[in-house]
Amino acid sequence: MKRIAALLLTLSCSSFSLASDSFKVCWSIYVGWMPWGYGDEQKIVDKWAKKYGIEIDVVQINDYIESINQYTTGEFDACTMTNMDALTIPAAGGVDSTALIVGDFSNGNDGLVLKNTDSLQAVKGQQVNLVELSVSHYLLARALDSVGMSESDVTVVNTSDADMVAIYPTAGVSSVVTWNPLLSEILTMPGANKVFDSSQIPGEIIDLLVVNTEVLKKNPALGKALVGAWYEIMATMSAPGKAGLAARTAMAIASGTDTAGYDAQLASTKMFYTPSDAVAFTRSSDLKSTMQSVAEFSFNHGLLGDGAPDAGFIGIETPVGVYGNPANIKLRFNPSYMQMAADGKL
């Protein structure tokens, strides 16, 4: 999964590509985003790009933080990220972005792990290693709230996702919050106990493909090609028999695990394999409520920018209405392209 929140970015003066026939998409390793690597290798993305007369370069970036930063500064036209990170990095940085594909939500893929205890209450007074101001931080806050505690009861230690597995066995580390496949690897270590995970807050940590709104507006072919490719990949990997197994095995190997390990991660992910399921989730009033909760957390942690007077400073557009300032919409959940796929119109 998932995952960095707002950084103090000084946006470069680089301009986003607008009307174009060549585009760049970046992704990072997470169970719900491995399909992009597979789709690139199997030329599925190329096939759909050719159908619409464009070129799409799919690039893997090993550092999740860096991938979102590069999208925000205009190096990429689209990027995989979570709902919270879409709000607190590009949207907070003034980049109008559209959630083109709502791919899944974490249903156990993000978790709080304590060493040598299985009691969540035991986290009190501990240092907790996580990617600060990310959805891991959000998960920690929700976990603490579930047992009547707050962040003042722990000390957050900012730790890169690239270092999480390496630091967990060290003597000075007693608790971490992270996502798969890192979470699964840590849970194989002696004394590791998962005491809270995202299945206890279903639908709140959402994995997206986010596209620059102006680029999408000027280039609808990009939206059609990406969505068409995505649902072809979804159909392949969810198919029974050899085809589905081969696809998931390729994704497993690319993410550093085996097929059983990858399938276990999929089991703790609510994947929207069909566009109709993704559209139904996006059109639900629950999405607007979730984004309000995320915005309030983000504002309370200073993630919406120094000038934000309240949690509604940034407008978030959903199919059931706007949360926040309708004059400052910077994040849009637009299911229209997924609806085209559901209607067989791509």
* DSSP code per residue over 213-277: HHHHHH-HHHHHHHHHHHHHHHHHHTSSSHHHHHHHHHHHHHTTS-HHHHHHHHHTEEE--SHHH
Residues sharing a CB contact under 8 Å with residue 92, sequence separation 6 or more, in sequence order: 6, 298, 303, 304, 305, 308, 314, 330
Task: For 34-162, list the strands marked E by DSSP.
Answer: 55-60, 78-82, 97-106, 110-115, 127-130, 155-158
Structure tokens at 307: 């000038």
Each residue of 88-120: b (16+ CB within 10 Å) or e?
bbbbbbebbbbbbbbbbbbbbbbbbbbbeeeeb
> How far is it, in rounded angstroms, from Cα 195 to Cα 193?
6
* CATH superfamily, domain at 22-105+205-342: Periplasmic binding protein-like II (3.40.190.10)
Q: What is the pTM of this model?
A: 0.88
* CATH superfamily, domain at 110-200: Periplasmic binding protein-like II (3.40.190.10)
Q: Can you give the pLDDT at residue 2?
A: 41
Give the angle 281-176-99 at the CA atoms, nearest 5°: 25
> How far is it, in rounded angstroms, from Cα 235 to Cα 248?
12
Read off the amino acid at residue 225.
A
Read off the amino acid at residue 206.
I
Task: For 17-96, list the strands marked E by DSSP.
Answer: 22-27, 55-60, 78-82
CB 127 within 8 A of CB 155: yes
Each residue's pLDDT expressed in tens, for the chain with a length of 346 residues = 444 443 434 343 344 445 679 999 999 999 999 999 999 999 999 999 999 999 999 999 988 889 999 999 999 999 999 999 999 999 999 999 999 999 999 999 999 999 999 999 999 999 999 988 788 999 999 999 999 999 999 999 999 888 999 999 999 999 999 998 899 999 999 999 999 999 999 999 999 999 999 999 999 999 999 999 999 999 999 999 999 999 999 999 999 999 999 999 999 999 999 999 999 999 999 999 999 999 999 999 888 988 899 999 999 999 999 999 999 999 999 999 999 999 999 9
CB 228 within 8 A of CB 275: no
> How far is it, in rounded angstroms, from Cα 111 to Cα 193?
10
Q: Can you give the pLDDT at residue 19?
A: 61
> How far is it, in rounded angstroms, from Cα 32 to Cα 35?
7
Strand partners, 130: 158
Structure tokens at 158: 């900012």
CB 39 within 8 A of CB 229: yes
Q: Can you give the pLDDT at residue 220?
A: 98
Q: Tell me, what DSSP letter sits at residue 54?
A: -
Report in angstroms the alpha-carbon separations of 183 from 72, 80, 95, 108.
27, 19, 31, 10
Read off the amino acid at residue 119.
S
> How far is it, in rounded angstroms, from Cα 209 to Cα 86?
10
Interhelix angle 285-300/275-283, rounded to 10 degrees, is 60
Domain locations in the chain as residue ranges: 22-105+205-342, 110-200
CB 22 within 8 A of CB 84: no
Report which secondary-structure segment, H or E, holds 206. strand 206-212
Residues sharing a CB contact under 8 Å with residue 10, sequence separation 6 or more, in sequence order: none
Residues sharing a CB contact under 8 Å with residue 99, sequence separation 6 or more, in sequence order: 83, 86, 208, 209, 210, 282, 331, 332, 333, 334
